[in-house]
Amino acid sequence: MTRQRPVNSKFRPGFRIVVLISGRGTNLAAIIDAVAAGALPVELAAVVSNEPHALGIELARHAGHEVTIVRHRDFSDREHFEAALAEAIDRHNPDLVVLAGFMRILTGGFVQRYRGRLVNIHPSLLPELPGLDTHARAIAAGAEMHGATVHFVTEELDGGPIIAQAQVPVLADDDPDTLAARVLEHEHVLLPRTLAWFATRRVSLDGNRVLIDGTPALSHPLDR
Ligand code: GAR
């Protein structure tokens, strides 16, 4: 279904995002707060959860956002689940789909459908530590620096082009929980700021390279 826009030469279409979650939704809350504070010029068109009891569902509804639940367990295989997921997303005609703690691995077909329009936040300094348990693994590896990354999603797990990162030092007395909590605080800044770059059309993809205002992404400090 095509969304109707008002016919008005001064009308500048808004930047629409759909956010996918699986759990507590603190990154989603950071997005909602940034939009409310006027720091993130996007329209949060909808939230989709694959977990019917995800805590993020209530906070989204409480803030007045539509939530669709697409339970992966209701489908016989990934293809059928992803077809339903795509339908739930496409109904809202988003410019960008944001994985904010969405914990399902997506197949190549789904990723291709949203190529250049699908981003994820991951709790490590990619390409270091893709996958799960990143905080415990950072400590076990004796890493001095840890952090979070926002990246485009490709077929390779946590392997797509990097858009922005936040670095967090690992402290001598950190355990996985204290480190996770500190990284999460940075995620809550990193994700809305990165989405604001998209909303103001500053991000582009040159093959596999991310450009911000036409220059390579990782040469850009976060506070630009
Ligand atoms: C966040 O730390 C996010 O980076 C991580 O899940 C957490 C979700 O928290 N994502 C991944 O590990 C994806 N591979 P939240 O539900 O409170 O936003």
With 80 as the cut, is the pLDDT of residue 10 above it? no
190-206: average pLDDT:
96
State in Å: Cα 188 to ligand 1 middle.
10
Ligand 1 atom, smallest distance to 122 CA:
4
pLDDT digits (tens, 9 = 90+) for 60-108: 999 999 999 999 999 999 999 999 999 999 999 999 999 999 999 999 9
With 50 as the cut, is the pLDDT of residue 223 above it? no
Q: Percent of the chain having pLDDT more than 90?
A: 89
- Closest by alpha carbon to 16, among 62, 52, 65? 65
Rounded CA-CA distance 194/212 in Å is 10
pLDDT digits (tens, 9 = 90+) for 159-180: 999 999 999 999 999 999 999 9
Catalytic residues: 122
Ligand 1 atom, smallest distance to 24 CA:
16
Question: Candidates 33, 55, 122: which one to mutate for ligand 1, based on the most atoms within 8 Å of Cβ?
Answer: 122
Tell me, using a 6 A CB cutoff, whether residue 24 lines ligand 1.
yes
End-to-end CA distance of the chain: 37
Per the CB < 8 A criterion, the answer to whether 147 and 166 are in contact is yes
Per the CB < 8 A criterion, the answer to whether 183 and 146 are in contact is yes
Tell me, using a 6 A CB cutoff, whether residue 184 lines ligand 1.
yes
Ligand 1 atom, smallest distance to 120 CA:
13
Rounded CA-CA distance 91/44 in Å is 13
Tell me, using a 6 A CB cutoff, whether residue 100 lines ligand 1.
yes
- Closest by alpha carbon to 22, among 54, 66, 68? 54
